[in-house]
C-alpha cells in the first residue's frame, strides 16, 4: 500500500493533463509555451517550454497550496519521515533562511558552527539574529573543520541559555557528521529548536548504512538539497519540518522571500525525484556507495593521495561519515586541492565539485557510472606522475577561528569604506570573503581581520581559488566598518 501511494507524482500528473487539454494561454509567461522564443525552444526543447507555466486552479499555487502541490507535499513528507515538507524553488539557500527566520527574530541568539554556508549568515543579516559560534574541531593533518562536539554544544547552551536554536551541518561539505541525535535531545531539554543544513544529505533518507537523517534524529527543521544528490533540477529543494512549529508560520516565513511564480519545471522535478527515491532509493544509493568505495580504494592505491572515510570517526566531532563523498587530500603530492581541480578540468576534461587548499571533492550520485570513475582515478594517477613536487611552503589549514566583534546585521548595514585587503589588519570586516565552492565564509561581516586571514586569502588567490563575496569583483579591496 505504502509504495503504491509513493508511486504517485501529483504535480507531474497535473502538468501532463494540462498539456493534453491544449489550453490557449493568455497568461504569463509571455513566451506562450515556447512559441514566442524559437531559439530557446530549440535549445531546451518544446516539451520543456510547454510546461513552463503559471500557477492556475488545475495546477495549484506554491504560495498557498490547496490541491496538487498540497498532495505532493504530503507525499514528500511521508517519504522523508517528516510532519510536513515544503517545495522550495529558490534553492536550499531559501530553505536555510526560512528555517532561521521562522525561529529567530532580531536580537535572538542562535548557536551554530562557524563553517556554515553563507546562506545561514545571510539569514542573520536579514533577521538581526545573533550568532553564537561553536568552533568545530579541526583535523590538523587534513586541515578541515570537523563537526561540533557535544561538550562544545553543551558549553554554548550553558553560556547562552536564552538561545532560540541550534544550527547543525548534516553532513559538512566533506561528509562529516556531528552527533545530531544527542545534540537534538540536549537542545530540546533546554527548549531550543534544532535546524539542520542537509544540503548534502538527501541520500541519508533513502540509503542503507547512512548517517542518521535530521528528521530521524528528531530535529525540528531541515533544508535538503534534492538537486545535489537526489536527481532534481538545480535550485530545487525541500524544507522539512517536525513537531512543535506551526506549519502556517513557516510557510508565511518562506513566502517573505520565495518567488510567487514558482517554476513548474523545478516543482515537477522535485515531485518525480521524490517518487524515484521513495520507490528505488535503497538500490540507487547502494550503487552510489559501491562506486564511491571503489574509487576511494583505487585512489588510495596510487599513493600520495589520501581519500579519507569512516576511519576518521571518533565518536564525537566526527560522529559519523558520509562515505558517498569522495574527498581526497592532495597536499602530500605538493599540490593544493584547487590546483588538482584546475588540472583535472583543463587537461582531462573532468569537472569535480570543489578544490580548496588541501583537498578535492568529487560528488558521487545517482547519475554516475563506473567508467567515469575509472577515468577520474587514472587522471589522478597521471597528475601525480607529471606534477608531483615538494610540499614545502604549503599552507596547512582550512579553518581559522573568527573574532566576532559585532552582529552580522550591524556590520553589514554600518557605514563602511574600502581599503586594500593587504592593509586591512585589525579592522572589522563589513562584507564576506569566501572561496566558492563551498561557499563557507573565510570572513563574515562583523569579524576582525587578522594577518593570518590575509595570508590565507592571498595564498588562496595565488593558488587559483575562486574568491567571492566582496563588492570589489577583483577581490583586491575589502569594505571595513567605520568604528565610532
Going from N- to C-terminal start, the domains of the chain cover 2-24+61-278, 282-387, 408-481
| Cα(476)–Cα(467) distance, integer angstroms | 10
Non-local CB neighbours of 57 within 8 Å, separated by 6+ positions:
67
Rounded (5°) CA angle 13-19-22: 150
Extended strands (E) in 116-259: 130-134, 138-139, 144-145, 165-169, 176-177, 193-198, 221-224, 237-241
Instruction: For residue 154, count CB atoms less than 10 angstroms from its CB and return exposed for 0-12, middle for 13-18, buried for 19 or more.
Output: middle
User: SS3 of 395, please?
Assistant: coil
pLDDT, position 15: 97
State the DSSP code for 132. Answer: E
Instruction: For residue 29, count CB atoms less than 10 angstroms from its CB and return exposed for 0-12, middle for 13-18, buried for 19 or more.
Output: middle
pLDDT, position 475: 94
| Cα(183)–Cα(317) distance, integer angstroms | 12
Question: How many angstroms from the chain centroid is the CA of residue 392?
Answer: 33
The answer to whether 454 touches 402, Cβ cutoff 8 Å, is no
* Helix ranges, 195-263 (H): 214-217, 226-229, 247-257
pLDDT, position 439: 82
Architecture of the domain delimited by 282-387: Alpha-Beta Complex (3.90)
| Cα(178)–Cα(195) distance, integer angstroms | 13
The answer to whether 63 touches 5, Cβ cutoff 8 Å, is no
User: SS3 of 124, please?
Assistant: helix
Fold of 408-481: Molybdopterin biosynthesis moea protein, domain 2 (3.90.105)
The answer to whether 126 touches 98, Cβ cutoff 8 Å, is no
State the DSSP code for 389. Answer: -
Residue in this structure with the C-alpha cell 521562522, named with its chain if needed = 102
Residue in this structure with the C-alpha cell 568545530, named with its chain if needed = 136
| Cα(410)–Cα(125) distance, integer angstroms | 8
| Cα(449)–Cα(344) distance, integer angstroms | 33
| Cα(291)–Cα(325) distance, integer angstroms | 11
State the DSSP code for 310. Answer: G
Neighbours of 282 (CB within 10 A): 12
| Ranges in the chain, pLDDT < 50 | 1-3
Question: How many angstroms from the chain centroid is the CA of residue 481?
Answer: 29
Cell numbers at 120, concatenated: 545561514
* Helix ranges, 354-468 (H): 370-387, 408-412, 451-463
Which of 429, 430, 428, 422 lies closest to 461, judged by CA? 422
Find the helix packing angle between 91-103 and 118-127, rounded to 10°: 40
User: Following DSSP, what letter does each residue of 1-42 receive, concatenated?
Assistant: -HHHHHT--HHHHHHHHHHHTTPPP-SS-TTTTTTT-HHHHH
pLDDT, position 3: 46
The answer to whether 27 touches 12, Cβ cutoff 8 Å, is no
Q: Of 3.30.110.30, 3.40.640.10, 3.10.310.30, 3.40.50.20, which CATH number belongs to 2-24+61-278?
A: 3.40.640.10
The answer to whether 464 touches 338, Cβ cutoff 8 Å, is yes
The reply to whether 282-387 and 408-481 are identical in fold is no
Which of 114, 118, 119, 112 lies closest to 97, judged by CA? 119
What is the CB-side half-sphere exposure of residue 111 using CA atoms within 13 A? 29
> Considering the chain, what is the average pLDDT of its residues?
95
The answer to whether 284 touches 206, Cβ cutoff 8 Å, is yes
Extended strands (E) in 225-295: 237-241
Amino acid at each position: 500500500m505504502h509504495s503504491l501511494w509513493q508511486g504517485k507524482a501529483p504535480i507531474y500528473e497535473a502538468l501532463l493533463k494540462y498539456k493534453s487539454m491544449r489550453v490557449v494561454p493568455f497568461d504569463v509567461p509571455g513566451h506562450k509555451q515556447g512559441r514566442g522564443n524559437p531559439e530557446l525552444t530549440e535549445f531546451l526543447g518544446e516539451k520543456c517550454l510547454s510546461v513552463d507555466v503559471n500557477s492556475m486552479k488545475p495546477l495549484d499555487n506554491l504560495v498557498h497550496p490547496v490541491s496538487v502541490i498540497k498532495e505532493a507535499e504530503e507525499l514528500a513528507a511521508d517519504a522523508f519521515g517528516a510532519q510536513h515538507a515544503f517545495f522550495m524553488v529558490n534553492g536550499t539557500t531559501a530553505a536555510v533562511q526560512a528555517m532561521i527566520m521562522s525561529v529567530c527574530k532580531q536580537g535572538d541568539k542562535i548557536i551554530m558552527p562557524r563553517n556554515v554556508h553563507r546562506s545561514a549568515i545571510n539569514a542573520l543579516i536579514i533577521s538581526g539574529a545573533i550568532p553564537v559560534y561553536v568552533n568545530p574541531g579541526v583535523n590538523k593533518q587534513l586541515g578541515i573543520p570537523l563537526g561540533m562536539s557535544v561538550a562544545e554544544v553543551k558549553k554554548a547552551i550553558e553560556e547562552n541559555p536564552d538561545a532560540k536554536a541550534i544550527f547543525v551541518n548534516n553532513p559538512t561539505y566533506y561528509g562529516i557528521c556531528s552527533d545530531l541525535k544527542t545534540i537534538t535531545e540536549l537542545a530540546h531539554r533546554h527548549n531550543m529548536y534544532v535546524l539542520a543544513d542537509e544540503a548534502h544529505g538527501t541520500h541519508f533518507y533513502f540509503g542503507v548504512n547512512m548517517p542518521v537523517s535530521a528528521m530521524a534524529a528528531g530535529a525540528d527543521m531541515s533544508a535538503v538539497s534534492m538537486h545535489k544528490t537526489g536527481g532534481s533540477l538545480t535550485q530545487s529543494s525541500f524544507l522539512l519540518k517536525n513537531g512543535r512549529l506551526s506549519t502556517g508560520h513557516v510557510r508565511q516565513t518562506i513566502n517573505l522571500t520565495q518567488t510567487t511564480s514558482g517554476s513548474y519545471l523545478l516543482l515537477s522535478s522535485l515531485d518525480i525525484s521524490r517518487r524515484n527515491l521513495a520507490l528505488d532509493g535503497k538500490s540507487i544509493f547502494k550503487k552510489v556507495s559501491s562506486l564511491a568505495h571503489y574509487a576511494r580504494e583505487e585512489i588510495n592505491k596510487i599513493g600520495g593521495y589520501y581519500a579519507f572515510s569512516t576511519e576518521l570517526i571518533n565518536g564525537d566531532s566526527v560522529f559519523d561519515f558520509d562515505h558517498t563523498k569522495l574527498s581526497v587530500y592532495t597536499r602530500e603530492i605538493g599540490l593544493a586541492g584547487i590546483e588538482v581541480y584546475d588540472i583535472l578540468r583543463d587537461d582531462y576534461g573532468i569537472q569535480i565539485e570543489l578544490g580548496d587548499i588541501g583537498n578535492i571533492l568529487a560528488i558521487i550520485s545517482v547519475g554516475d557510472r563506473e567508467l567515469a570513475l575509472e577515468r577520474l582515478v587514472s587522471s589522478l594517477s597521471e597528475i601525480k606522475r607529471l606534477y608531483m613536487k615538494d610540499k614545502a611552503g604549503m599552507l596547512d589549514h582550512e579553518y581559522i577561528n573568527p573574532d566576532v566583534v559585532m552582529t552580522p546585521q550591524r556590520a553589514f548595514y554600518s557605514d563602511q569604506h574600502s581599503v586594500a585587503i593587504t592593509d586591512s589588519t585589525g579592522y572589522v570586516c563589513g562584507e564576506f570573503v569566501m572561496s566558492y565552492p563551498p561557499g563557507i565564509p573565510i570572513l563574515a561581516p562583523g569579524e576582525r581581520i587578522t594577518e593570518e586571514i590575509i595570508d590565507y586569502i592571498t595564498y588562496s588567490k595565488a593558488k587559483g581559488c575562486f574568491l567571492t563575496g566582496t563588492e570589489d569583483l577583483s577581490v583586491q579591496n575589502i569594505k571595513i566598518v567605520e568604528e565610532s
